[in-house]
Amino acid sequence: MKIQTLAYNFNYNLNRKKVIPSFKNIQSSSFAIRNENCAQRQLIELQRKKLAEEYEQFCQDTGKVSFKELQSIKAKNPTILYVAKKEIENHPHDMETTPNIIAKTAIMLKSYFDKKYGENYRLISIGTSPACIAEAMDALGAEVVYAPLSGINHYENCSPNSDKLNIKNYPNIQSILKYLKSKGVYKESKGKVNILIDYCNSGKSLRTMGELIKQYNKVPKDFLQEHSIITLIKWIAFQEKEMQGMLDIKEIAKLEADMKFQRIGEVCNVPHFNICEDINRFASDYISTQGKTQYQLFQTFETYSRPRARAFALCVLDEINK
């Protein structure tokens, strides 16, 4: 019986029909898989290319980023925000100020001024250094004017201690004062306090701008304040009870260092607008005044933007929106 069983099993195995895939079938299957993988790769590549084009278009757009633009991106193409964050995180640059620091600073300053003045104030951001914070405050609803002025402190013959400053010493300064006037910086316009902010070493540019606005734009002394931006931030962060804890000393130190060494200009959509051609003319964001009409100059200034600055601003607004 045992032998018969073995024989039966042997015969059964011999008589089984073996299904061996043909080479043709294997070839067709492999070809189909390769085609499918190739199609997937092509689709991924097309998606990457489309995203790259959309992100590049966002970065190349002119003007400052608004909450409306942020909401539109979140609704239609949130990947742009993701790429912007990665771009800022991985950018090979030594700037330490993060979008979160700018967001918290802007919220703190606006809360402070809102509490003190209600809606009766106008923030005037001088030059490039404080503009990153001013942009965020602008998006939050504060009235912000960007003063197109850089390098005024280089002029030895323009002392704010003199009884009356002579604007003949300032190339293009008349145009700048007229521009500020068109933005409401004139006399007691709407009864608003004009708050000048600037990053200060000596404070000369801040005082000089204040004197010029008082003398030539007829803004009364009671309607004008001058603040060194870092000194103001420190005072509010450590002296105002309601604001304490919003920023710590390390965050302020990072902000101060980036302003001092002009690194923060890399993420500002406000360029260096020089009143003389020999100041900051090698800066990447320098706007030359030669060969342009007054309208062209200020149009260039207002619509100026740089790709990394728009990406940074988008991240700042997202931090505020959290």
Query: Which tops the pLDDT comparison, 320 or 11?
Result: 320
What one-character DSSP code corresponds to residue 64? -
Identify whether 147 is part of a domain: yes
Average pLDDT score, the chain: 81
Identify whether 10 is part of a domain: no
Whole-structure pTM value: 0.81
Percentage of the chain beyond pLDDT 70 is 74
Write the DSSP assignment of 162-190 as a string of letters: SSS--GGGSTTHHHHHHHHHHTT-STTGG
Identify whether 246 is part of a domain: yes
Q: Are 97 and 264 in contact (CB under 8 A)?
A: yes
CA–CA separation, 281 and 258 (whole Å): 20
pLDDT for residue 291 is more than 80: no
pLDDT for residue 290 is more than 90: no
Identify whether 165 is part of a domain: yes
Identify whether 251 is part of a domain: yes
Query: Which tops the pLDDT comparison, 311 or 300?
Result: 311
Domain count, the chain: 1
Model confidence at 287, pLDDT cuts 50, 70, 90, reads: low
Strand partners, 224: 194
Q: State the chain's maximal CA–CA distance in angstroms.
A: 128
Which range of residues forms the domain containing residue 224? 105-270
Identify whether 236 is part of a domain: yes
pLDDT for residue 56 is more than 70: yes
Looking up residue 229, the CATH number of its domain turns out to be: 3.40.50
Identify whether 222 is part of a domain: yes
Identify whether 158 is part of a domain: yes
Q: In the prediction, which pLDDT does 16 show?
A: 47
pLDDT for residue 278 is more than 60: no
